[in-house]
C-alpha cells in the first residue's frame, strides 16, 4: 500500500524536490497550490513524468489550498481525506520565502509563514490526528547571533520573514508537547539550500543565471547589494531527504541541518563567473538600493545531532560542484536547450 504524503507549495523548490524523492519511493503524493496562481497542472506534472514511469506504483495528484485562510486549509484536508482515505505524512513547505520582500508586507508574511502552521495542525488534530507533520523552518531564526548554532541556540530573528517562521515553530512545539494532543510534529532548521529549482530572486540563482547569460551575451551586468555576507549552503535534494527521515523516527524531534562551513558572497560570485572563464569584477555592479534594512551577516550550522540520529552527511557535495551544477543548468536553459537534472544521489 502506498504511503500518502501531502506537500504544500507546489511551485516551490523544496516541494518539487521532495516530490521527486517521494515518487521514487513509491509514494502517493498530493501537491497543493493556490487557485489564484496561474498553475497549469498538465505542464507541471510533466516535470515528474520519468519518476512516474520508472516507479509505476507511485501516484501524483493536486489539490487547491490557500494557506493564509483557515477555512481553505480545513477544506483541503477534508478533500484529501475524502479522495485518498488518509494522510500519512504532511510536509508544510509553502511560504512567503523572500526575506527582503517580507519587510514590505509584514502582516501577510505572518499569516503565511506563521499562522498557517496552526491552521494545518489544528485541522489535522480534528480530522487526521495520526498524520506525521513536518514544518519548514530557517536558519534566519538565528539572526543577530554570530557563531555556530545548533538546536539549543537562542533565536534572534531580524526580519518579518524570520519572526513569522518563529511563530510557526512555536505552534509546532505546542502541538507536539501538549499531552492532550500529542501530535507527531517537528521542524527542520535548514541552512541555505538550493538546486536547479531555486527561483531567480534568490541570490545564488541570481548569480549563476546572470553568469550564464553574460557568457552567452544575453546580459551585460549583475546588480547586487553587497558581498559582505556568508552562508552555510547545501544541495536541496539532501535536505529534502532529511525532511523525510525526520518523519520516519519513532518520536518527533527538531533538527538543525547544514554543512558547518560558510562561504562568503565573493566566493559565490567568483565560482560562478570562473565557471565561464569570466572576471566577475568586470560585470558586477553594487546597488545600495538592494540592501536589506536589517541584514544577517553570517550563519553556520552545527548539525551534530542530525549526523548522529539521521545520518546527515555534511559537505556531501563540494561547494564548487554545487555552483558548477547550477551554472551548467542555467547555461543550457538560457541557450534554449532542455536542461538536464542530474541524480545527485547516484553521484555523491
Q: Which residue of the set 8, 17, 32, 138 is catalytic? A: 138
The yes-or-no answer on residue 140 being catalytic is yes
Q: Which residue of the set 8, 118, 134, 140 is catalytic? A: 140
Return d(Cα 69, Cα 115) in angstroms, integer.
9
Angle at 23 between CA 20 and CA 26, to 5 degrees: 160
Across the chain, the runs of DSSP E, i.e. the strands, are: 4-7, 28-33, 59-64, 89-92, 132-138, 148-149, 185-190, 192-194, 222-224, 230-231, 233-235, 255-257, 263-264, 284-286, 300-301
Phi-psi region of 106 (alpha: psi -120 to 50; beta: other; left: phi over 0): alpha
The yes-or-no answer on residue 49 being catalytic is no
Q: Are strands 230-231 and 263-264 parallel, antiparallel or unpaired?
A: antiparallel
Lookup: cell for 164: 513569522
Return d(Cα 319, Cα 227) in angstroms, integer.
17
Please give the C-alpha separations between residue 70 and each of 111, 146, 317, in angstroms, as whole numbers. 10, 37, 40
- What is the number of residues in the chain? 348
Q: Which residue of the set 161, 175, 329, 331 is catalytic? A: 161
| Number of neighbouring beta carbons within 10 Å of residue 335 | 13
Return d(Cα 322, Cα 344) in angstroms, integer.
10
The yes-or-no answer on residue 348 being catalytic is no
Rg of the chain (C-alpha set): 20
* DSSP-derived secondary structure letter, 138: E
Return d(Cα 322, Cα 307) in angstroms, integer.
21
Consecutive H or E run containing 213: helix 203-215
Residue tagged 555576507 (cell numbers): 229
Residue pair 168/116 in contact (Cβ under 8 Å)? The answer is yes
Give the residue numbers marked as catalytic.
138, 140, 161
Amino acid at each position: 500500500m502506498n504511503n500518502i504524503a501531502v506537500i504544500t507549495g507546489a511551485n516551490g523548490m523544496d516541494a518539487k524536490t521532495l516530490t521527486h524523492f517521494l515518487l521514487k519511493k513509491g509514494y502517493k503524493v498530493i501537491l497543493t497550490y493556490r487557485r489564484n496562481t496561474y498553475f497549469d497542472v498538465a505542464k507541471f506534472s510533466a516535470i515528474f513524468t520519468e519518476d512516474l514511469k520508472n516507479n509505476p506504483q507511485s501516484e501524483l495528484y493536486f489539490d487547491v489550498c490557500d494557506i493564509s485562510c483557515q477555512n481553505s486549509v480545513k477544506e483541503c484536508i477534508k478533500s484529501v481525506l475524502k479522495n485518498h482515505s488518509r494522510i500519512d505524512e504532511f510536509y508544510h513547505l509553502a511560504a512567503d520565502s523572500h526575506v527582503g520582500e517580507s519587510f514590505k508586507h509584514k502582516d501577510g508574511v505572518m499569516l503565511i509563514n506563521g499562522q498557517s502552521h496552526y491552521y494545518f495542525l489544528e485541522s489535522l488534530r480534528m480530522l487526521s490526528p495520526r498524520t506525521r507533520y513536518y514544518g519548514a523552518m530557517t536558519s534566519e531564526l538565528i539572526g543577530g547571533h554570530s557563531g555556530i548554532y545548533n538546536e539549543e541556540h537562542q533565536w534572534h530573528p531580524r526580519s518579518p520573514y524570520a519572526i513569522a517562521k518563529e511563530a510557526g515553530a512555536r505552534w509546532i512545539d505546542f502541538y507536539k508537547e501538549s499531552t492532550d494532543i500529542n501530535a507527531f510534529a517537528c521542524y527542520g532548521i535548514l541552512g541555505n539550500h538550493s538546486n536547479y529549482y531555486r527561483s531567480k530572486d534568490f541570490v545564488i540563482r541570481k548569480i549563476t543565471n546572470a553568469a550564464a547569460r553574460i557568457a552567452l551575451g544575453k546580459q551585460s551586468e549583475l546588480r547586487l547589494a553587497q558581498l559582505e555576507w556568508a552562508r552555510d549552503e547545501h544541495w536541496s535534494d539532501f535536505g529534502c531527504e532529511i525532511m523525510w527521515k525526520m518523519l520516519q523516527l519513532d518520536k518527533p524531534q527538531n533538527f538543525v541541518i547544514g554543512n558547518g562551513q560558510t562561504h562568503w558572497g565573493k566566493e559565490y560570485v567568483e565560482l560562478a563567473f570562473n565557471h565561464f572563464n569570466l572576471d566577475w569584477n568586470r560585470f558586477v555592479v553594487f546597488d545600495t538600493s538592494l540592501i536589506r534594512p536589517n541584514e544577517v551577516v553570517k550563519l553556520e550550522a552545527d548539525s551534530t545531532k542530525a549526523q548522529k540520529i539521521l545520518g546527515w552527511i555534511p559537505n556531501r557535495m563540494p561547494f564548487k560542484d554545487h555552483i558548477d551544477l547550477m551554472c551548467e543548468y542555467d547555461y543550457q536553459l538560457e541557450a534554449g536547450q532542455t536542461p538536464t537534472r542530474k541524480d545527485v544521489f547516484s553521484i555523491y
